[in-house]
Amino acid sequence: MKEIRRDSITGDSVIYSSFRNKRPLDKVNSTNDFDSKDNEYSSSCPFCRGNEKETDTLKEELFDDEDWVAKCVSNKFPILDMSTKEIFGDHEVIIETNRHNGSYYNMSIDEFKNTFRLFSSRYKELSETKGIKYVSIFKNSKRNAGASLMHPHSQIVSFNMIPPEIEKELEVAKKHIAATGRNLYDDIIMSEISYGKRIIYNGEYFLAFVPYATRYNGEVRIIAKTKDDVGDWKEKHIDELSYIFKNLFVKLDAYQGEIPFNLLVHTYPLECEGRKVFRTHMHIVPRKYNFGGFELSTNFFVCGTDPDALASDLKF
């Protein structure tokens, strides 16, 4: 079965082809990734406890009784900096745990809480810088998802402009409110809850579900049910989000193993009617296979995952 499906958030057209996942692959020599037998500490890792001289300027630290357990530093090789007027911003690295061999697949609820506390406080600080119009938070887990270092970390980048992908999502949301008078994300939350079969977890503050259409096979989405942005998160939001991430990654591991993934946090644009038309949401994108020439050449993506079946495997 082949059909075109439209992603309700991005507006992307996706080719849904139910049996493309069955094609054969040559055996590969081994996985192109980090050593999973790593210890909690690596002497060569700039993000490990004790190697602080390797990292760039410290921005924020969280402590337990003994030492730091999560922190934020400026990125030594920033995509953006404040040196030019045409395009500027900050680029920081959030070190999510002191454990070198940590990952979302094995982090504790407390480690997730520290991660989201830093998301919130760094977002707040970066979004208050003059001229900044957007703050992006994302994570690359493993080499195949674009990670250059293994130690669990995410990144936060501020911009003096709204990135193209967010402009695209805003456009879709603005068209929806113009046509219906209703917020697109509220409508998606309502219709997902009403349909039910794509839901992974329906919380008080967040809804986790598998989208009906996405360019990324196996993507999971989390939409905030309230108008709070990342900088507004209280402990109650962070508690629920940590519970969702802990359980989701246990389920993902059981379903497909510890495959590479990206976390994309789509926050509010800072200077527009964001809260009326938009809602903070997250895309969790598995990166088992690489995009090939078909996707690069056409900007069509082919998807073969049945969303109801995937949600049923991941729900908790």
Q: Is 257 in the site for a second copy (CB under 8 A)?
A: no
Beta bridge partners of 285: 262
Distance (Å, whole) CA 56 – CA 92: 10
Q: Is 31 in the site for a second copy (CB under 8 A)?
A: yes
Beta bridge partners of 14: 5, 301
CB of 128 to a second copy, least distance (A): 20
* Positions 144 through 203 that interact with a second copy (CB under 8 A): 144-150, 155, 157, 159, 163-166, 168
Q: Taking the CB of residue 250, how many other CB atoms lie within 10 A of it?
A: 15
Q: Is 1 in the site for a second copy (CB under 8 A)?
A: yes
CB of 46 or CB of 203, closer to a second copy: 46
Long-range CB contact pairs, 189-197, < 8 A, 24+: 189/223, 189/225, 197/308, 197/311, 197/312
* Positions 94 through 113 that interact with a second copy (CB under 8 A): none
Q: Are 34 and 42 in contact (CB under 8 A)?
A: no
Q: Which residue's entry shows tokens 């700039």?
A: 46
Paired sense of beta strands 206-209 and 301-303, if any: unpaired
* Positions 123 through 142 that interact with a second copy (CB under 8 A): 136, 138-140
Q: Is 53 in the site for a second copy (CB under 8 A)?
A: no
CB of 241 to a second copy, least distance (A): 18
CB of 35 to a second copy, least distance (A): 6
Q: Is 281 in the site for a second copy (CB under 8 A)?
A: no
Burial of 88 (0-12, 13-18, 19+ CB in 10 A): middle
CB of 4 or CB of 254, closer to a second copy: 4
Q: Is 265 in the site for a second copy (CB under 8 A)?
A: yes
Size of the site for a second copy (CB under 8 A): 75
CB of 172 to a second copy, least distance (A): 14
